[in-house]
Amino acid sequence: MPRTWGGRALALRGWVDQVARESPARLAMTVFAAVITLFTLLLLPPWATASGRSVSIVDALFTATSAVCVTGLVVVDTATYWSEYGRVVILLGIKIGGLGVMTLASLLGLAVSRRLGLTQKLLTASETKTERLGEVGALLRTIIITATTIELAIAVLLFPRFVALGDSLGTAAWHALFYGVSSFNNAGFVPTEHGLMPFASDWLVLVPIALGVFIGSLGFPVILNIMTHRRRRHHWIRSLSLHTKLTVTTSLALLGGGAVLIGALEWSNPATLGAQDGATRVLSSIFASVMPRSGGFSTVNVHEMQPETWLVTDALMFVGGGSASTAGGIKVTTLAVMLLAIVSEARGDKDTDAFGRRIPRDTIRLSIAVMFMGATAVLVSCLALLRLTPFGLSEVLYEVISAFATVGLSTGITPELPDSAKYWLSGLMFVGRVGVVSLMGALALRDRRRIVRFPEERPIVG
């Protein structure tokens, strides 16, 4: 028997090694699917719910997928429906899913960096001197330590505030830890009843959570790059990688633009910002602009927002956060590269440049593929949900983009969806979390060599 089990273990290890070499994307999808299945089983027992009754398979699957894919969409209220055991399972799913995404992205990036210079910068191989796969272990340990430190720092900032608001020490510690993990991993799950709406004017609660979401959405390559170069006394900003500069500048531009647009559209809406004082309106506008990075928290009723605000939020959610981060979407660097390519084309430049660096053509092609894949997934899912549900296009589009970009913001229709739509959104969350990273890795690793090249002819475009 030991030999039999030993032989099976060796065979499994051999299969994993082979798949990792041939198709890292397929291995990533298999691992994530297995983790989601495990957490679905952990949520099925009756002791996982506060009522003591077993949850349905579709609701358990939806919740597990949302947690592991760090989305935040829910079909039942996290604070009241699940027992303490259930909420601990959800928190573990968020933690494992968030770390899994970052470590997976780093592993794929290190593999890709042997062929693509920009992707090498993307995953900080050059900055950390991690150019050999044998050094991946040290890099991943750094990722885990950094992520855990930031989560605990957010919890430490939140803990005294929850105590001051009347929570017991144990409850305050639990809420602070849950929000720390959920915010940095851009998960959007809330352990408190009514979420963050009761804290709409509380800067001491919302600012640490917003900072956690924003830092987590930048991605580990950016965090590590800044930590590595900040020790330099002179010109440390200039020495940052191109990926870091593009991610930070684009994220700040989207944050500022989103806050202005959301604030302007909702300023006089009595159901949202209109009922708040001036300082609270500013805080709510900024908070609402940070959350589409993939955070998913909300201090106002999204269902009461203007349709124009939904459209602005749709665009921000579709872009998402930084590459190799816990955020979803097509990524801010994809948007930045596409905009830079458009500007270069309009100027008639052969090269696409940014911050004194030339962006390879392969990266531009990859950005086009990622954006097209994301738009196609959203389009097909909208068509499916319009057929499966009685809701209108605006609500369906908002929910679909939120699922694809693993944001978690909702107009409130998710709990009312039929089982078929819940299964569809579960698959879309999975595609949104694993699909883009896997596609990037698969396309970048694929280098088809052709002996014969056809004559060049330019078609009419535009």
pLDDT at 145 (0 to 100): 82
How high is the pLDDT of residue 325?
A: 80
Residue-level pLDDT at 455 = 83
Instruction: Give the SS3 label for residue 275.
Output: helix
First to last CA, the chain: 67
- From CA 308, how far away is CA 267, in angstroms rounded? 13
Q: What is the pLDDT of residue 123?
A: 38
Share of the chain above pLDDT 70, in %: 79
Contact status, residue 374 vs residue 386, Cβ threshold 8 Å: no
Question: Would you tell me how many other CB atoms lie within 10 Å of the CB of residue 58?
Answer: 18
- Each residue's pLDDT tens digit, 15-46: 545 555 555 566 667 778 888 999 999 999 99
Amino acid 210 reads A
Q: What is the CA radius of gyration of the chain?
A: 22
What is the model's pLDDT at position 113? Answer: 46
Q: Alpha-carbon distance 77 to 381, whole Å?
A: 24
CA distances from 188 to 179, 182, 191, 303, 410 (A): 9, 6, 10, 17, 11
Residue 370: predicted pLDDT: 87
Which residue type does 383 have? L
Contacts of residue 411, Cβ cutoff 8 Å, sequence gap at least 6:
302, 303, 310, 395, 398, 399
Q: Mapping DSSP to helix (H, G, I), strand (E, B) and coil, where does residue 352 land? A: strand
Distance CA 433, CA 152 (A): 24
Task: Report the b/e string of 418-445 with b at 16+ CB within 10 A.
Answer: eeebbbbbbbbbbbbbbbbbbbbbbbbb
Q: Which two tokens stand for residue 459?
A: 């078609």
- Please answer whether residues 421 and 388 qualify as being in contact, where contact means their C-beta atoms are separated by less than 8 angstroms: yes
Residues 6+ apart with CB under 8 A from 238: none
C-alpha distances in Å from residue 139, one per residue of 104, 124, 126, 167, 325: 12, 10, 12, 38, 15
Burial of 351 (0-12, 13-18, 19+ CB in 10 A): exposed
What the block records as the tokens of 304 is 């009461």
pLDDT in tens, the chain (462 residues): 445 666 655 565 555 455 555 555 666 677 788 889 999 999 999 999 999 999 999 999 999 999 999 999 999 999 999 999 999 999 999 998 887 755 655 555 445 444 433 333 333 333 333 444 444 555 666 777 888 899 999 999 999 999 999 999 999 999 999 999 999 999 999 999 888 999 999 999 999 999 999 999 998 788 888 887 766 656 677 788 899 999 999 999 999 999 999 999 999 999 999 988 889 999 999 999 999 988 899 999 999 999 999 999 999 999 999 887 888 899 999 999 999 999 998 898 888 998 889 999 888 988 888 899 899 999 999 999 999 999 999 999 999 999 999 999 999 999 999 999 999 999 999 988 876 556 555 555 555 566 677 787 768 766
